[in-house]
A and B are shown apart, each in its own frame.
Chain A
Amino acid sequence: MADPEIKSYAPHHESQSAAVTESRPAKAVLMIVTFAFLGIFLLLPLIVVFNEAFAKGLSAYTEALTNPDTRSAIHLTLLVAAISVPLNVVFGISAAWAIAKFEFKGKAFLTTLIDLPFSVSPVISGLVYVLLFGAQGLLGAWLKAHGIVILFAVPGIVLATIFVTFPFVARELIPLMQEQGNGDEEAALSLGANGWQAFWYVTLPNVKWGLLYGVLLCNARAMGEFGAVSVVSGHIRGLTNTMPLHVEILYNEYNAAAAFAVASLLAGLALVTLVLKTLLEMRYGAELAATRGH
């Protein structure tokens, strides 16, 4: 906003406002480019998912979703998310507490390390576990001797999912808690609260929306992860197939309608995630961490 006093000295209001915004035709062109680009690259793929899912009618759709293999894929996806998301929440809170509430050497380096999984290809995230736990892996022989199965089974899928969703909660909470400072906790402690009470009754309510935001993104990625899980899963139908992997199998079997039916559930999850995320940003934008994006 320009200072009104200065503005009153401007000889031509009209020409000035024209100079700080684009001409009408330029504006129109930019808007059309934006809508065309987003329409083609974002909206059309989304429409295709639902269009193809219902291409063979509602009964084919429900049949695809009630198929035993599909149901076991849904169960596995929910199970994996139910294990990996809470673990990353505990880690995120713990890391944010250590990093935001204290000053210590190597803090910046630790923060960088937490972001590391985002710069690693999902395939490599899966590969590292194969190298560790696979038959030719570092621990492979030992695991086999003790009858412990990690790879091509649920534990491997959970580990790979934890790896790729590792930073979500932490990177949401760290800047938020840093911004809020230590004042509230110090007040609580001086009033006789112990550390746990200060966390539970002071810190947690302060960061709850940021935490929910992080959980939302973490969960979306956990349920939708493909590359990393694909490498460690072994693709055993009905046993180690998550929903995204099941989509791939159905699609490669030329069963497009069923593939898109399962995909429509995942797309629905993505839409719900986006709606909740937008609502959180609208309602609690000021309370959420300023640093968004991934």
Chain B
Amino acid sequence: MTTAPAKAGWRFRQPSVIPGFGLTLGFSLAYLTLIILIPLSGLVWRSAALGWADFWAIATDRRTINALEISFGTAFIAAAVNVVFGTIVAWVLVRYNFPGRRIVDAMVDLPFALPTAVAGIALTTLYAPNGWLGSLLAPLGIKVAYTPLGIVIALIFIGLPFVVRTVQPIMEEIDKEVEEVAATLGANRFQTIARVLLPGLAPAIVTGFALAFARGVGEYGSVIFIAGNLPYKSEIAPLLIVIRLEEYNYAAATAIAAIMLALSFVMLLVINLVQTWSRKRYG
């Protein structure tokens, strides 16, 4: 290869014999800009054009605050539930051999593949007062459908694969010798899991939590059927955006969307920091 390396200076890309860089990068950037970047910056521009006073009025509106609280609160609870059960599911799939393991493993991806509206009406039917599970819970005084608890159920369904699929590959990589060493040094099984294995899995678990949480905050299709959608009580933020749009209140829709995006980014940032910290600590 007779590429003369430039001795000095900044260089946009390393030389290569492979052709097509300009074409593929140019097309990719143009497509990305047209489909994603311009529309998204339109949202930022619109919310910036609102003016601080208007923006503040929408942001501090009781209904907006409640919707955001419900969205973030239910997503948090659902992600926490998924962390516990998702980790157990991943453990069983990685460590135990049982007939049909492959099928169970494949089924974990169902929430990725099943359209959210289908999940929504199925869960609602299941948990409605006359549904298979709803009729069992009703005598206990537990109402799921048309309450915030229903939102949590839908978000558990949606978020489960995020936790399992993030934790599973890391569990597969665990070196069994580490456990043997812990056992030889006198740790019982519980101690080995709690003090040796879990710290190593922590970054993956946090990532899984973050992915499930982020997805839950924005989720719409599976939630609106089961939530009941009572303003101030069981109305999620994405639904409030849709309602404001249908009222042709573009300003409010834009402001709520901007707040959601900003909160999500802050959250992901915090979780990223936690992850770097735990990686440093447990390497």
Instruction: Report the count of interface residues on B (CB-CB < 8 A).
Output: 101
- Give the Cβ gap from A13 to chain B, nearest Cβ, in Å: 12
Residue B80, interface by CB 8 Å: no
**Cα distance, A220 to B125, chains bound together (Å):** 23
CB < 8 Å neighbour of A224 from B116, B153, B250: B116
Known: A37-B85, A119-B268, A227-B221. A16 touches B242 (CB 8 A): no
Residue B102, interface by CB 8 Å: yes
Residues on A with C-beta less than 8 A from B113 are 217, 220, 224, 269-271, 273-274, 277
Residues on B with C-beta less than 8 A from A286 are none
A window 32-48: CB within 8 A of B: 33-35, 37-38, 40-46, 48
**Cα distance, A75 to B165, chains bound together (Å):** 34
**Cα distance, A190 to B102, chains bound together (Å):** 44
The stretch of A64-72, A126-134, A141-149, A204-212 in contact with B is A126-134
- Give the Cβ gap from B33 to chain A, nearest Cβ, in Å: 10
**Cα distance, A21 to B261, chains bound together (Å):** 44
Residues on A with C-beta less than 8 A from B111 are 42
The listed residue with most A CB atoms (<10 A of its CB), out of B13, B19, B113, B192, is B113
* In contact, A263 and B122 (Cβ under 8 angstroms): yes
* In contact, B20 and A33 (Cβ under 8 angstroms): no
* In contact, B180 and A91 (Cβ under 8 angstroms): no
Q: Which residue of A lies closest to B95 (CB)?
A: A21
Residues on B with C-beta less than 8 A from A116 are 36, 40
Total CB contacts across the A-B interface at under 8 A: 307
The stretch of B51-59, B252-260, B274-282 in contact with A is B252-260
Residues on B with C-beta less than 8 A from A134 are 250
**Interface footprint category on A:** 35 or more
- Give the Cβ gap from A182 to chain B, nearest Cβ, in Å: 6
* In contact, A95 and B24 (Cβ under 8 angstroms): yes
The listed residue with most A CB atoms (<10 A of its CB), out of B35, B121, B161, B245, is B121
CB < 8 Å neighbour of B43 from A41, A98, A124, A292: A124
* In contact, B92 and A119 (Cβ under 8 angstroms): no
Residues on B with C-beta less than 8 A from A27 are 96
- Give the Cβ gap from B218 to chain A, nearest Cβ, in Å: 3
* In contact, A127 and B18 (Cβ under 8 angstroms): no
Residue B205, interface by CB 8 Å: no
* Main SS at interface, chain A: helix
B window 13-71: CB within 8 A of A: 13-14, 16-21, 23-25, 27-29, 31-32, 35-40, 42-43, 45-46
A window 1-33: CB within 8 A of B: 1-2, 16, 18-23, 26-27, 30-31, 33
Residues on A with C-beta less than 8 A from B253 are 127, 130
CB < 8 Å neighbour of B98 from A31, A37, A105, A182: A31
* In contact, B176 and A48 (Cβ under 8 angstroms): no
* In contact, B221 and A124 (Cβ under 8 angstroms): no
**Cα distance, A136 to B250, chains bound together (Å):** 8
Residues on B with C-beta less than 8 A from A33 are 85, 88
* In contact, B220 and A41 (Cβ under 8 angstroms): no
Flag A213-226 by CB within 8 Å of B: 1 or 0 each.
00001001001111
Residue B230, interface by CB 8 Å: no
Residues on B with C-beta less than 8 A from A35 are 104
Could you tell me which B residues sit within 8 Å of A by CB distance? 12-14, 16-21, 23-25, 27-29, 31-32, 35-40, 42-43, 45-46, 85, 88-89, 91-93, 95-96, 98, 102, 104-119, 121-123, 125-126, 131-133, 153, 156-157, 160-162, 165-166, 169, 176-177, 179-180, 183-184, 187-189, 192, 214, 217-221, 225, 238-239, 241-242, 245, 248, 250, 253-254, 257, 260-261, 264, 268
Can you list 10 A-B pairs, Cβ within 8 angstroms, ordered by A? A2-B177, A26-B189, A34-B92, A94-B24, A95-B28, A102-B13, A122-B218, A132-B38, A259-B121, A277-B109
Q: Give 4 new A-B contacts, CB below 8 A, not counting A259-B121, A270-B113.
A: A94-B23, A105-B12, A134-B250, A230-B221
